[in-house]
Each structure stands twice: as structure tokens, then as C-alpha cells.
Amino acid sequence: MQRRNRILRQSQAIRSLVAETLITPHDFIAPLFVIEGKSVKEAIASMPGYYRFSLDLLKEEIKELWGLGIKSVLLFIKCPDALKDNKGTEALNPEGLMQRAIRAVKEAEPGMLVMTDVALDPYSSFGHDGIVEGSEILNDETVAVLAAMSLSHARAGADFVAPSDMMDGRILAIRQALEENSFTRTGIMSYSAKYASCFYGPFRDALDSAPGFGDKKSYQMDYANRREAVNETLQDVQEGADIVMVKPAMAYLDIIREIKNTVTIPVSAYHVSGEYAMIKAAAERGWLNEEKAMLESLTSIKRAGADLIATYFAKDAAKLIG
């Protein structure tokens, strides 16, 4: 034999030396769910080990994450039903929960990078990402609110806004709004290739944000499509996105690679709630080793081409590899 491939696999020492992909806590964005109240840490049934935090406990969580080497968080809020409408009114409230959450994170740890979800669904009486008229989700009217919402987050101190709505033209509108108001240091992480996926189910439980009618297929992408992801992403880059994203991650590793080979700005991937829940559920039954499944999954997402990964495993993984 001229070549024995197993030579490079025979000990942990040589395997570590030639490993192509290493995940570190610096790769992770930790999504966080925030609710009103005091000393509230509410379990989410379909996301074992994950919680909704009130602002006081959010601060504790931020300090813990920072101590583990996690340097960025992605904020989501659970809006009380009474404040939901069809215009995103509460999303623009300077004293709204999101705006207070941004400030709370910065108080707890000024260095923590704060990214905020920009979409109407948590605020929508219809559970849709945009303004609803009849059975339609209006595009341009929604984009105007998303730009105002982004501005509101920037004012509260967000480092990055992360539009997750998939309306057309929103990156340009957000960039213009930021520029016109001199927020020249606020970044945009665009959910540029976001698919209409069943894997968001547990997240919608977490925020009580499931669509009240229909589905999200008229704005989120068809999972049968690959070229469409390239088009969406190139357009967002052109409109001024600083970071693009593929979502979900594990069922879309081919898309992550495709995007990585296409753009020269950082690519993120969102390892979504359903992907987290699957591993948790199988592990609870003893059918999978949770730690191994988690590390293998996260490594595969990075190997596919993700420079950063939004994942509910951020804290657990950081504890193991940090």
C-alpha cells in the first residue's frame, strides 16, 4: 500500500493536529427570550432546559454567558396579548420590553454584543411577521414599520438589528433609516435565506407567536429551492447587510455551503428551536448522547461554512469546549 489514510486518525493527538474545523464559544450567538415581571424564569415545554427571563434574571444570564466566553446575544421578547395589534405599535414603544431588554443587557455587561429580532410576529394579533390585510401580508407597509423598529432598537443601544421577516427591500429601508439618523455604527444581520420551516414550532410556543391563520409561505422561502437562496442573499448584500444568514441550519447545510462560496461577508446559520428540541427529546429517551449530538451538530454547521452560529446550545457547548 502506498497510502494508508488511517495514519492520520490513529490517536487523539494526530486527530487534533489535523482537524479542519474547531468550534469555540466565540462562534456562538445565544438567543434569549425575555418576558415582563420580576424574578421570572419560565420553562418552555417544547425547549427543555431553555427559559423565558424577566429583565432582572436576564442580567444574571448575561453575566454567566459572558463568563463562558459568549460575546453576543440575540433578543426576542414575549409581548403581552393586550399590547398586540396589526400595526406593530408596541414594537416602536421606546419603553417597550425589547428596548428595556437592550438597555438591561448593556447594564449587565457593556461589552456584550446585542442583536435584536426585527419582525412583527411577537407583536401581531395575527401572529404574522407583517401587517395583515384580508389574507395578505402587506410588503411595503411592513417594511416601513421594520425600519422604524430598527431605528428604535438602535436608539436603545442595539449593536445589530436582525430582520427575520423576509419582506422584500427591508435591508435597504433599514440601512437608509439608520443612515438618515446617524446610526452609522449599527449593523444589520439579515435573515437572508430563511425558509418556511416546521422546525420553528417550539420557538412559536416560546413566544406564543404562531400564525393565527394560514402559514408563512408567501414570505419565507420554499424548502425545495436553492438558487432562490443565492438570489435573496446577493440582494441583501447589495442592499447593505453586514452579515447574512441561512435558517434553519441542519436541514440546510447545502445552502450554507452554497452561500459561503458565493458571498465574501460573514455567513451565519441559525440552529433553530426544532433542531434543538429533536436532540433534547432523543436524549431524554436515552436514544442519543446529548453532548455528542450537540457538538457533532454544531461542528457540522461550521464545517458547512457558517462563520457564526445562533444556537440554543450556546451555553451548554461553551461549558464543554470553552
Judged by the rule CB under 6 A, the positions of this chain that interact with ligand PBG are 117, 119, 121, 129, 164-165, 200, 203-204, 216, 272-273
Q: Between residues 202 and 305, which has the closer beta carbon with respect to ligand PBG? A: 202
As given in the structure block, the three cell numbers for residue 36 are 415582563
Burial 94-124 (b: 16+ CB within 10 A, else e): eebbbbbbbebbbebbeebbbbbbbbbbbbb
84 strand-pairing partners: none
Q: CB–CB of 73/32 below 8 Å?
A: yes
As given in the structure block, the three cell numbers for residue 318 are 461553551
Instruction: Name the active-site residue from 84, 216, 247, 280.
Output: 247
Burial 7-41 (b: 16+ CB within 10 A, else e): eeeeeeeeeeeeeeeebebebbbbbbbbbeeeebe
Give me the least distance between CB of 315 and ligand PBG, in Å please. Answer: 15
- CA–CA separation, 162 vs 40, rounded Å? 26
Q: CB–CB of 30/72 below 8 Å?
A: yes
Give me the least distance between CB of 98 and ligand PBG, in Å please. Answer: 13
- DSSP string for 6-67: GGGGSSHHHHHHH-S----GGGEEEEEEE-SSSS-EEE-TTSTT-EEE-HHHHHHHHHHHHH
Q: Between residues 72 and 164, which has the closer beta carbon with respect to ligand PBG? A: 164
Q: Beta strand 187-194 with 160-163: parallel, antiparallel or unpaired?
A: parallel
Q: Between residues 201 and 266, which has the closer beta carbon with respect to ligand PBG? A: 201
Give me the least distance between CB of 12 and ligand PBG, in Å please. Answer: 34
Give me the least distance between CB of 238 and ligand PBG, in Å please. Answer: 22
Q: Between residues 160 and 200, which has the closer beta carbon with respect to ligand PBG? A: 200
Can you say whether the dihedral through the CA atoms of 156, 106, 81, 189 is positive or negative?
positive
Helix (H) or strand (E) run with residue 142 in it: helix 140-156
Q: Between residues 67 and 212, which has the closer beta carbon with respect to ligand PBG? A: 212
Nearest residue to ligand PBG, by Cβ distance, number only: 203
Give me the least distance between CB of 33 and ligand PBG, in Å please. Answer: 10
Give me the least distance between CB of 208 and ligand PBG, in Å please. Answer: 12
Give me the least distance between CB of 277 and ligand PBG, in Å please. Answer: 9
- CA–CA separation, 169 vs 173, rounded Å? 6
Q: CB–CB of 111/62 below 8 Å?
A: no
Q: Between residues 258 and 275, which has the closer beta carbon with respect to ligand PBG? A: 275
Instruction: Give which of 5, 148, 154, 162 is closest to 74, Cα–Cα.
Output: 162
To the query of whether residue 194 is one of the catalytic residues in this protein, the response is yes
Q: Between residues 109 and 269, which has the closer beta carbon with respect to ligand PBG? A: 269
To the query of whether residue 247 is one of the catalytic residues in this protein, the response is yes
Q: Could you give the residue numbers annotated as active site?
A: 194, 247
